[in-house]
Amino acid sequence: MHAKRLWEIDSLRGIAIILMVISNFVTDVSFFGIYSINIYSGFWLFFARLVVSMFILLAGISLTLSYSKVRNRPSREIHKKYLLRGAKIFGLGMLITLVTWIFLKQDFILFGILHLIGISIILGHLLVKNKRLSLFLGILFILIGIYLQNLAFGFPWLVWLGFKPEGFYSVDYVPIFPWFGLFLIGVFLGNLLYPEGGKRFGIRDFSNSRVIIPLRFLGRNSLLIYFIHQPILILFLWFFFPFPYHFFF
């Protein structure tokens, strides 16, 4: 029997979904030249990074909750489960890489949030039982990532780690350094707040409130919404503010 889903985690993920749609809507408005918005610095850059941070932290916490349900199974079965789950999400990320390479050319998504979460699940499940090591490595990865952000390298093959070549840009760039560190912080928080899947804190149950129910729905279907929201946004903008096809071809 599966443990009951935690309404607060689904609700937070639902909030992240709403913020993601807002962030990507603003990015699309700027990208298609509908209105000039500075998305590369200031408020909207902070907003986009906040959204990414929420998803990655929640993914780390969710890994600990998922692991609590299978922790008594044979190790080989557990490794297989998370290898397949991570590979599936990474594969969906590669599908987005292909689609954006076809339509966005040089701005295509090389290593975005789904690539990062897929790899993080595969690597993170090996650390899920050790919250202190997760915290230490999480901080270390973040510090290394912050250091790398100010550097440029003369080779492209480690861009997925955070070694950016000169002039590199991608519409969704979430490298291992520093973002896997944030995932590990999520693993630490999951173990701290939900030891073995149980809550360490008391919280009033708002799961059936009118506000929380739709947030829970969004949170439970976050992956599907992630895939369909951009085509819907682009069609909406094109209908009201037709832009030339050269953006895609």
Closest to 17 measured CA to CA, from 245, 246, 226, 188: 226
The pLDDT confidence band at residue 3, using thresholds 50, 70 and 90, is: very low
The pLDDT confidence band at residue 2, using thresholds 50, 70 and 90, is: very low
Q: In the numeric block, which tokens belong to residue 62?
A: 């969710």
- pLDDT of 244 above 70: no
Report the alpha-carbon distance of residue 150 to residue 165 in Å, rounded.
Answer: 11
The pLDDT confidence band at residue 248, using thresholds 50, 70 and 90, is: low
Report the alpha-carbon distance of residue 203 to residue 7 in Å, rounded.
Answer: 11
> Given this model, what pLDDT does residue 1 score?
33
Residues whose CB falls within 8 Å of the CB of residue 14, separated by 6 or more in sequence, listed in order:
214, 215, 216, 217, 218, 219, 222
pLDDT tens column, 65-106: 999 999 999 999 999 999 999 999 999 999 999 998 988 777
pLDDT tens column, 12-34: 999 999 999 999 999 999 988 89
Report the alpha-carbon distance of residue 37 to residue 229 in Å, rounded.
Answer: 20
Query: Helix or strand or coil: residue 50?
Result: helix
* H or E element at residue 136: helix 131-148
- pLDDT of 192 above 80: yes
- pLDDT of 215 above 50: yes
Report residue 146: phi and psi, to 5°. -60, -40
The pLDDT confidence band at residue 167, using thresholds 50, 70 and 90, is: confident
Report the alpha-carbon distance of residue 193 to residue 67 in Å, rounded.
Answer: 14
Report the alpha-carbon distance of residue 215 to residue 209 in Å, rounded.
Answer: 10
Q: Residue range 120-148: average pLDDT? A: 97
- pTM assigned to the model: 0.93
